[in-house]
């Protein structure tokens, strides 16, 4: 039990015991929640949970998720890997893991990172359940409620975060962190140029503000590899780097990684111990076995090819089915395409139409840290196959046309009818 983080503890002292019959009153839970709990109650997360649930229902084509294609998951290879693991190490594969992650996996990650230009020793690598857990740990270590963080709003930036404006913010607000997803960013699919990466790093160094670089997609490029991670340019250790196998192998394994200078890696490990004790052992061994057999690289290559095709299919379908005024940037990798609807339309008006035809997607307003634009949405092209993409985009396009026309119709009708009354 780990209580010391958040609490004082009472040593039990003397008292008098009152007996009696009482009728227990239920608790009014909302009065007991912390401000964090209160904010969660009011957040849009409930709507996102509902959308996630809807996305898994049969008969639904979902462009709302951010997952690898389930059809790509190599079930037979997982079976063979599992057999090899059990015959080689047996029960150890189901037993305890070091809190920081098993050593062979941290060595493997260190080697793979070196190929991307990131120099990290296994001691700098902390295995986490997913980038999400790494982010949560870092936010708990570096920010308190009310602190300021610089991040992209997911507006349409062809080259990622507008670094030119960052220095003003650094000087004025002295933020605790810069959080960025520079490569095939979720949700826009945009990629920060090498020049901007270098500038952002220089600024972080000048103002001594850590950068959290969230990089789940950089292996999933289509034509050519993206620029190196900011972490690869980071010779003085200002970048805290997050990656995951959830997008390029399988989300059910829950294996991601955090790369950080020693003091941060150590503290993240201690906090992780208090959070959920250790990573799951089995998922770690499965990843190692996949890598040893060369299957990890094969799998990533297959995913690249498949998602490149699907992205192209979505781009073509959008050209065919979307009305004038819709705009999008076709990404060079990753899982998402960011669609800008004509200004007079709000994305959340569409689901009631598209839902009837079994198509769901994510209105973009959920993806802004503060007030977001209404006429944007995130479309995923990795889960549905090309045929489903074609159909789903057709449904989206026709719903959009209907909305555009109906709006005009209603106004026209009122205009026509009113004077006659």
CA atoms of 381 and 212, how far apart (whole Å): 26
Cβ closest to a copy of itself, residue 251 vs residue 325: 251
Mapped onto helix, strand or coil, the DSSP state of residue 164 is helix
Q: Please state, in angstroms and as integers, the Cα–Cα distance from residue 362 to each residue in 25, 86, 137, 354, 379, following that order.
A: 41, 41, 27, 12, 7
Name the DSSP class of 42.
H
How far is Cα of residue 192 from the mean position of the Cα atoms in its chain?
Answer: 17
* Residue showing tokens 């045929």: 387
Size of the site for a copy of itself (CB under 8 A): 138
Cβ closest to a copy of itself, residue 133 vs residue 399: 133
Q: Name the H helices within 226-327.
A: 262-276, 281-292, 295-321
* Residue showing tokens 């229902």: 57
Q: 331-370: which residues touch a copy of itself (CB under 8 A)?
A: 369-370
Cβ closest to a copy of itself, residue 49 vs residue 408: 49
Site string for a copy of itself, 266-295 (x = CB under 8 A): xx-xxx-xxxxxxxxxxx------------
Question: Are 259 and 125 a contacting pair, CB within 8 Å?
Answer: yes
Site string for a copy of itself, 110-149 (x = CB under 8 A): ------------------xxx-xx-xx--xxxxxxxxxxx
Q: 366-395: which residues touch a copy of itself (CB under 8 A)?
A: 369-370
Cβ closest to a copy of itself, residue 120 vs residue 399: 120
Cβ closest to a copy of itself, residue 169 vs residue 316: 169
Cβ closest to a copy of itself, residue 153 vs residue 194: 153
Query: Minimal distance in Å, beta carbon 366 to a copy of itself?
Result: 11
CA atoms of 282 and 246, how far apart (whole Å): 15
Name the DSSP class of 357.
T
Cβ closest to a copy of itself, residue 194 vs residue 404: 194
Site string for a copy of itself, 220-249 (x = CB under 8 A): ---------------xxxx-----------
Polymer length in residues for the chain: 421
Cβ closest to a copy of itself, residue 59 vs residue 263: 263
Which of 5, 223, 224, 416: binder of a copy of itself (CB under 8 A)?
5
Q: Please state, in angstroms and as integers, the Cα–Cα distance from residue 302 to each residue in 82, 248, 250, 323, following that order.
A: 21, 10, 13, 33
Q: 201-220: which residues touch a copy of itself (CB under 8 A)?
A: 202, 205-206, 208, 210, 214
Mapped onto helix, strand or coil, the DSSP state of residue 85 is helix
Query: Minimal distance in Å, beta carbon 30 to a copy of itself?
Result: 7
Cβ closest to a copy of itself, residue 93 vs residue 376: 93
CA atoms of 92 and 78, how far apart (whole Å): 18
Q: 151-190: which residues touch a copy of itself (CB under 8 A)?
A: 151-153, 161-169, 173, 175-177, 179, 181, 186
Question: Are 97 and 84 a contacting pair, CB within 8 Å?
Answer: no
CA atoms of 273 and 285, how far apart (whole Å): 20
Question: Are 180 and 146 a contacting pair, CB within 8 Å?
Answer: no
Q: 38-67: which residues touch a copy of itself (CB under 8 A)?
A: 39-41, 43, 45-46, 48-49, 52-53, 56, 65, 67
- Token representation of residue 33: 């929640």
Query: Minimal distance in Å, beta carbon 265 to a copy of itself?
Result: 10
Site string for a copy of itself, 8-37 (x = CB under 8 A): xxxxxxxxxxx---x-xxxx-xx-xxxxxx
What are the φ/ψ torsions at residue 283 (nearest 5 degrees)?
A: -60, -40
Query: Minimal distance in Å, beta carbon 335 to a copy of itself?
Result: 13
């Amino acid at each position: 039990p780990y209580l010391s983080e958040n609490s004082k503890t009472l040593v039990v002292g003397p008292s008098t015991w009152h007996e009696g019959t009482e009728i227990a009153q239920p608790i009014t839970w909302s009065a007991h929640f912390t401000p964090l709990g209160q904010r969660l109650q009011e957040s849009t997360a409930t709507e996102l949970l509902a959308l996630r649930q809807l996305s898994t229902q049969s008969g639904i084509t979902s462009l709302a998720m951010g997952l690898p294609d389930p059809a790509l998951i190599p079930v037979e290879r997982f079976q063979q890997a599992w057999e090899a693991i059990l015959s080689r190490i047996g029960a150890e594969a189901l037993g305890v893991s070091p809190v920081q992650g098993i050593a062979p996996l941290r060595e493997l990650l260190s080697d793979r990172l070196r190929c991307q230009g990131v120099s990290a020793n296994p001691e700098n690598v902390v295995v986490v359940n997913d980038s999400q857990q790494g982010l949560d740990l870092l936010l708990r270590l570096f920010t308190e409620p009310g602190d300021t963080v610089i991040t992209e709003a997911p507006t349409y930036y062809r080259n990622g975060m507008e670094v030119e404006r960052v220095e003003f913010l650094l000087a004025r607000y002295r933020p605790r962190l810069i959080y960025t997803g520079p490569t095939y960013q979720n949700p826009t699919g945009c990629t920060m140029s090498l020049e901007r990466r270098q500038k952002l790093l220089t600024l972080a160094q000048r103002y001594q503000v850590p950068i959290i670089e969230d990089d789940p997609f950089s292996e999933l490029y289509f034509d050519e590899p993206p620029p190196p991670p900011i972490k690869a340019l980071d010779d003085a250790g200002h970048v805290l780097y997050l990656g995951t196998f959830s997008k390029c192998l399988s989300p059910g394994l829950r294996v991601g990684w955090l790369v950080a200078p020693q003091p941060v890696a150590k503290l993240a490990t201690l906090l992780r111990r208090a959070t959920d004790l250790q990573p799951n052992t089995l998922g770690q061994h499965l990843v190692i076995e996949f890598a040893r057999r060369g299957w990890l690289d094969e799998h990533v290559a297959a995913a690249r090819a498949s998602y490149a095709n699907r992205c192209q299919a979505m781009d073509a379908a959008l050209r065919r089915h979307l009305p004038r005024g819709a705009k999008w940037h076709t990404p060079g990798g990753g899982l998402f395409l960011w669609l800008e609807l004509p200004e007079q339309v709000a994305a959340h008006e569409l689901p009631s139409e598209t839902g009837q035809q079994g198509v769901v997607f994510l209105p973009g307003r959920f993806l802004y840290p503060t007030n977001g634009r209404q006429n944007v949405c995130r479309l995923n092209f990795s889960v549905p196959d090309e045929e489903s993409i074609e159909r789903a985009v057709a449904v989206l396009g026709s719903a959009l046309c209907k909305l555009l026309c109906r709006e005009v119709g209603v106004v026209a009708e009122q205009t026509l009818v009113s004077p006659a009354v």
